[in-house]
């Protein structure tokens, strides 16, 4: 038995000892919706709004960011056992959620927010950062709203109404991004890792270099030198670091290439408020405007 299997076996054993594991859905009051990662939590909070009797909870810590190397904890299993609905990003982001873990709660219904989206793949596999694209965020929000409406018919109209309102805000912001970039002569950027692949695709940005090909693995001295040369030749508008990671490598590349460093937030972490995603993306828009104004042709 490998390490992952041993850990899962232990977690499932702990789950069986949790109180309420034998509770039938009919004996429970209200609907408990569990979201795996921060952006799915924010989308779901906006869709649920103030519908009485529906609780929305986040599984992973709001400060975690992308769960590339995450492992389930007993606390996570407790949340899974108490939930009625699990909202996942999909696209392989939740690799830490093995089927036996979900099977420990046979009444759990899963909403895959990325259902129907077109994946972007590379040598590392499927890129899971769909929510960073406002276009895909719209589709994910719609999948969540209609998924909850199907599972909770009593509140179906309100889920769809709340979802439509949030969708309108997303599309207005998307238009603002497109207008800001419409006539930009230079749309070349350097990103910290591949979180902005969908974002760049939908806005017509060209990612000329990625600092960390593998999240958490800094480039070697030799790789840094090659990156610096590549950046000098490409002349992007900026090197975009992320608030979830240290800026030191980006600063080194900036010093070597003369290209300024800015911060773009994939909104994979943040304050647990309904406005967190829109606030983060509006800040990204202002950052891009600043970089476009200062950037070369």
Over residues 32-52, the pLDDT tens digits come to 999 999 999 999 999 999 999
CB-CB contact of 192 with 241 (8 Å): yes
What per-residue confidence (pLDDT) applies to 7?
36
Answer yes or no: is pLDDT of 56 > 70: yes
What per-residue confidence (pLDDT) applies to 96?
86
What per-residue confidence (pLDDT) applies to 140?
97
pLDDT tens-place string over residues 247-295: 889 999 999 999 999 999 999 999 999 999 999 999 999 999 999 988 6
Q: For residue 75, how far is the Cα from the chain centroid?
A: 21
**Banded pLDDT at 84 (limits 50, 70, 90):** very high
Q: Got the DSSP string for 260-284?
A: PEEE----SS--SSTTHHHHHHHHH
**Banded pLDDT at 97 (limits 50, 70, 90):** confident
Over range 176-181, report the average pLDDT: 96
pLDDT above 70 coverage of the chain, percent? 88
Answer yes or no: is pLDDT of 22 > 80: no
For the ranges 41-50, 120-129, 209-218, the lowest mean pLDDT is seen at: 209-218
What per-residue confidence (pLDDT) applies to 214?
72
Domains of the chain: residue spans and CATH:
3-175 (3.40.50.1980), 181-294 (3.40.50.1980)
**Banded pLDDT at 65 (limits 50, 70, 90):** confident
Q: Which residue has the higher pLDDT, 255 or 19?
A: 255
Mean pLDDT of the chain, nearest integer? 87
What per-residue confidence (pLDDT) applies to 1?
38
Answer yes or no: is pLDDT of 4 > 70: no
Q: How far is the C-alpha of 160 from the C-alpha of 215, rounded, in Å?
A: 36
CB-CB contact of 281 with 134 (8 Å): yes
**Banded pLDDT at 28 (limits 50, 70, 90):** low
Q: Which residue has the higher pLDDT, 172 or 71?
A: 172
């Amino acid at each position: 038995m490998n390490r992952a299997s041993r850990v899962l076996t232990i977690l499932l054993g702990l789950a069986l000892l949790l109180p309420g594991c034998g509770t039938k859905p009919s004996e429970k009051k209200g609907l408990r919706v569990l979201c795996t990662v921060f952006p799915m939590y924010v989308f779901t909070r906006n869709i649920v709004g103030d519908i009485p009797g529906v609780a929305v909870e986040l599984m992973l810590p709001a400060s975690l960011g992308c769960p590339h190397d995450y492992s389930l904890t007993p606390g996570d299993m407790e949340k899974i056992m108490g939930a009625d609905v699990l909202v996942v990003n999909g696209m392989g982001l939740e690799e830490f959620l093995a089927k036996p873990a979900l099977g420990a709660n046979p009444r759990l219904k899963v909403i895959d927010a990325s259902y129907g989206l077109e994946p972007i793949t590379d040598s590392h596999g499927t890129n899971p950062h769909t929510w960073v694209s406002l276009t895909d965020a719209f589709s994910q929000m719609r999948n969540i709203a209609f998924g909850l409406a199907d599972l909770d018919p009593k509140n179906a109209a309100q889920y769809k109404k709340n979802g439509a309102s949030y969708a309108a805000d997303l599309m207005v912001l998307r238009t603002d991004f497109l207008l800001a970039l419409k006539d930009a002569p230079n749309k070349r950027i350097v990103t910290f890792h591949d979180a902005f692949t969908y974002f760049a695709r939908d806005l017509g940005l060209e990612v000329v270099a990625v600092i960390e090909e593998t999240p958490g693995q800094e480039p070697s001295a030799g790789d840094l030198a090659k990156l610096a040369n590549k950046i000098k030749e490409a002349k992007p508008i900026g090197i975009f670091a992320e608030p979830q990671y240290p800026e030191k490598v980006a600063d080194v590349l900036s010093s070597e290439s003369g290209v300024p460093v800015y911060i773009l937030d994939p909104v994979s972490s943040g304050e647990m408020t309904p406005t967190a995603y829109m606030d983060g993306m509006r800040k990204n828009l202002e950052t891009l405007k600043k970089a476009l104004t200062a950037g070369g042709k």
